[in-house]
Chain A
Amino acid sequence: MIQIKDLNVKLSGFSLHDIDLTVERGEFFTLLGPTGAGKTVVLESVIGIIPVEKGRIYINNKEVTNLPPEKRNIGIVYQDHALFPHLTVYKNITYGLRYHKINGKEPGKNLSFIIDRLSLVPLLERSVINLSGGEKQKVALARALAVDPSVLLLDEPLSALDPNFREDTREILKRLHVETGITILMVTHDFTEAHFLAQRTAVINNGRIEQIGSIPEVFHKPSTPFVAKFVGMKNIFPAIFNGNKAQIGKLAIKTNSLINGSKKYIAIRPEDIHISTEKQSLPERNSIKGTVSKILNHGFYCDVSIETFYIKFTAIIPSNSPVTMNLAEENSVYISFDPADVHVL
């Protein structure tokens, strides 16, 4: 279990502000945020590399705020693996064993289990220098797990891997978490990874936590425009609210929300916007006429920009749809979306 209470860190040119976070025992928790948001600073504060200006850190209910890293029993895996280049795979994995009594279990037993689970047996005597990215990441994982840490911190462990290895390593991480039951705090900028691996997540931006919640909650009910944008909501507009309607300029949009005075924005996921060439006769839905201003093909899908009342909506459609729908730039189309899909922020 990791408890971070009111954590403040001041570095030259960057600060963490009032970070409050609890990762429950055995939980897989992700800390999401863009590059430079402060994710790694949080991890390195927890591990004891970066000094804490204010606040407390607890690992399994024991305060570790002022303990040196070697006394915290926290494992860390970095994106760049940080393997010791002068040691073999086996010596990397067993590096920390001499400092740890493995809680009554034989160190070798724990070690064999990890090496076996990560399929590292054929690599043990090899130098780490010539391993592939995926192999290096597995060695880094094995090294961190070999000392039976109280918690495991993962710093974007999948980002540097090519897509095939990334999926494999993601599966391995999930399986290891289930099999070992270890508490994991992983930082990532990829919401898909969080979706696949974690139970809960926190979104961090500019050194502040923007939202903490379950993955579906953060995905479907972002609490700030930043989180909405981060989880892929491309249609975020400032609005004035009147009853259950949001007014954006001359455009009135139906919502399903009971709106209080503090809300200022609406957000709609691009995949929730339906495009048609003819007006839909579904009065409960929002239906707006607009002009296609841009079609951007991403391979498997297309981003379609539709302008109406000087507002630009973005919708996602399959990449073959522009052909089947006979859709082209400058065409007049109708967009429609359910009031339930209008998120009020």
Chain B
Amino acid sequence: MTAKKHIDPFIWLAVSSSIIIIAFILFPLIEMVAQPSFADLMDTIKDKDVISSIWLSLYTSGTAALISFIFGTPFAYLLARKDFAGKKIIESIIDLPIMIPHPVIGIAILSIAGQNHWLGQIISSIGIRIMGSVTGIIVVLTFVGLPFYVNTVKAGFESIPSRLENVSRSLGASITDTFFRVTFPLAWRSMVVGMIMCTARAVSEFGAVVIVAYHPMIAPVMIYERFTAYGLKYSQPVAVWLIIVCLFLFLLLRIFSVQKKHSP
């Protein structure tokens, strides 16, 4: 007779919770993906408006990620490496776009980009239009995506021992040389992950974009429009294609998250 293996009640609780959470996420998504017919899906992807809206979503989200990379990398480095007065406040400010309701973000951007604001007047005078433009969408998506990039890359920099940089500088390398010869080669993976996070977040943005630029139409706005105008049947296939794109992005994220083990 074999002894019955005792399983702690906490393990049961953990496993049950996991099953509930996975079902909670997957069930509506699987249902939505399963409901449209294959023919509907193929018809949808042949629709030029759908293709251009998905492309616009990817293009604007990718550009937002690129802007985050250019400006967010030095900023993340500063936060990871330097202690200064007000650092906690700065870190909280970075997280603000995550917490603020998204339509509020759209309204906030419009309030400074309009003709009634001096900044809006300057932007307009140099020929840049925010309201109802691709530029406006990129501004909004950068706003909502930046915290994801900065926080991810900051964690990446923090995982590199600062002693490596100290040694590099003791060997004669300047701060810039040290960054490009030591820090960047060790942190690039977190930058890629940060850009994917930023892109993924931007692709899913709706609330802020719809305030600033209903047209040109990004994919989430098109899904919303088709739902309100034609109902569930016409919005679902577009949503499925958007989910496939998001799934692909997160698959990339997981692949890049698996880092080689470095022992510094």
Q: Do A and B bind each other?
A: yes
Q: Does B170 contact A (CB under 8 A)?
A: yes
Contact B163 A82 (CB under 8 A): yes
Interface pair B166/A96, CB less than 8 Å apart: no
Alpha-carbon distance A85/B159, docked complex (angstroms): 13
User: Among B33-41, B45-53, B171-179, B206-214, which stretch is in contact with chain A?
Assistant: B171-179
**B167-194 CB contacts (< 8 Å) to partner A:** 167-175, 181-182, 185-186
Contact A96 B264 (CB under 8 A): no
B174 touches A70 (CB 8 A): yes
Main SS class of interface, A: loop
B166 touches A147 (CB 8 A): no
Q: Is the CB of B169 within 8 A of A82?
A: no
* B164 interfacial by beta-carbon distance below 8 Å: yes
Interface contact A129-B263, CB-CB below 8 Å: yes
On whether the beta carbons of A99 and B182 are closer than 8 Å, the reply is no
Is A72 part of the binding interface, using a Cβ–Cβ cutoff of 8 Å?
yes
Contact B166 A49 (CB under 8 A): yes
Stretch at the interface among A73-81, A217-225, A245-253: A73-81
Residues in B whose Cβ lies below 8 Å from that of A85: 186, 262-264
- Is B101 part of the binding interface, using a Cβ–Cβ cutoff of 8 Å? no
Given the known interface contacts A70-B174, A85-B264, A129-B263, the answer about A78 and B169 at a Cβ–Cβ threshold of 8 Å is no
- A84 touches B (CB below 8 Å): yes
* Distance between A40 CB and nearest chain B CB, rounded to angstroms: 10
Q: Out of B161, B171, B186, which one reaches A96, CB within 8 Å?
A: B171
Cβ-defined contact, A82 with B264, below 8 A: yes
**Could you tell me the distance between the alpha carbons of A99 and B169 in the complex, rounded to whole angstroms?**
10
Is A47 part of the binding interface, using a Cβ–Cβ cutoff of 8 Å?
yes
Cβ–Cβ < 8 Å partners of B185 in chain A: 86
Query: Within 8 Å CB of B164, what residues of A?
Result: 82, 84
B170: chain A residues at CB < 8 Å are: 47, 69-70, 72, 74-76, 144, 149
Interface residue? A271 (CB, 8 A)? no
Contact partner of B163 (CB less than 8 A), chosen from A72, A80, A96, is: A80
- Interface class of chain B by DSSP: helix
**Distance A49 CA – B170 CA, assembled complex (angstroms):** 9
| A108 interfacial contact with B, CB 8 Å | no
Please give me the residue from chain B that is nearest to A96 by CB atom. B171
- Whether the Cβ atoms of B262 and A96 lie closer than 8 Å is no
Q: Within the complex, what minimum Cβ distance (angstroms) separates B55 from chain A?
A: 36
Chain B residues with CB below 8 A from A81, complex form: 264
Complex Cα distance, B174 from A72, in Å, reads 12
The answer to whether A83 touches B169 (Cβ under 8 A) is no
A84 to B161, CA, bound (A): 10
Does A44 belong to the interface (CB within 8 Å)? Answer: yes
Q: Is the CB of B171 within 8 A of A83?
A: no
CB neighbours (8 Å) of A72 from chain B are: 170
Contact call A70/B166, Cβ cutoff below 8 A: no
Q: Is A226 at the interface (CB under 8 A from chain B)?
A: no
Determine if A86 and B172 form an interchain contact, defined as CB atoms under 8 angstroms apart.
Answer: no
- The verdict on A143 contacting chain B, using a C-beta distance below 8 Å, is yes
Is B163 touching A78 in the complex (CB atoms < 8 A)? yes
| A149, B171: Cα distance in complex, Å | 9
CB contacts (< 8 Å) of A232 on chain B: these are none
Inter-subunit contact A80/B161 (CB<8 Å): yes
> Which residues in B have their C-beta under 8 angstroms from that of A99?
171-173
**CB neighbours of B167 from chain A (8 A):** 76, 78, 82, 84, 143
Residue on B with the closest CB to A73?
B172
Alpha-carbon distance A186/B254, docked complex (angstroms) = 44
Chain A 93-128 interface mask (CB, 8 Å, partner B; 1/0): 001101110000000000000000000000000000
What A residues does B186 contact at CB under 8 A?
A: 85-86
Alpha-carbon distance between A125 and B12 when the two chains are bound, in angstroms: 51
User: Which A residues lie within 8 Å of B261 (CB)?
Assistant: 129
Partner of A147, one of B171, B181, B263: B171
B residues in contact with A149, CB < 8 Å: 170
Task: Give the residues in chain A near B182, CB-CB below 8 Å.
Answer: 84
A197 to B186 alpha-carbon distance, docked (Å):
36
B residues contacting A by CB (< 8 A) are 83, 161, 163-164, 166-175, 181-182, 185-186, 261-264
A-B contact list, 30 entries, CB within 8 Å: A12-B83, A44-B166, A47-B170, A68-B174, A69-B166, A69-B169, A70-B169, A70-B171, A74-B170, A80-B161, A80-B264, A81-B264, A82-B163, A82-B164, A82-B264, A84-B168, A84-B182, A84-B264, A85-B262, A86-B185, A86-B186, A86-B262, A95-B171, A95-B173, A95-B181, A96-B172, A99-B171, A129-B262, A129-B263, A144-B170
A-B pairs, top 10 by smallest CB distance, nearest first, are: A99-B172, A96-B171, A85-B262, A69-B169, A82-B163, A86-B185, A82-B167, A76-B170, A70-B169, A96-B172
Besides A76-B170, A82-B166, 20 new A-B residue pairs in contact (Cβ under 8 A), listed by A number = A12-B83, A68-B169, A68-B174, A69-B166, A69-B169, A70-B171, A73-B172, A74-B170, A76-B167, A82-B164, A84-B167, A84-B182, A85-B263, A86-B186, A95-B168, A95-B181, A143-B171, A144-B171, A147-B171, A147-B172
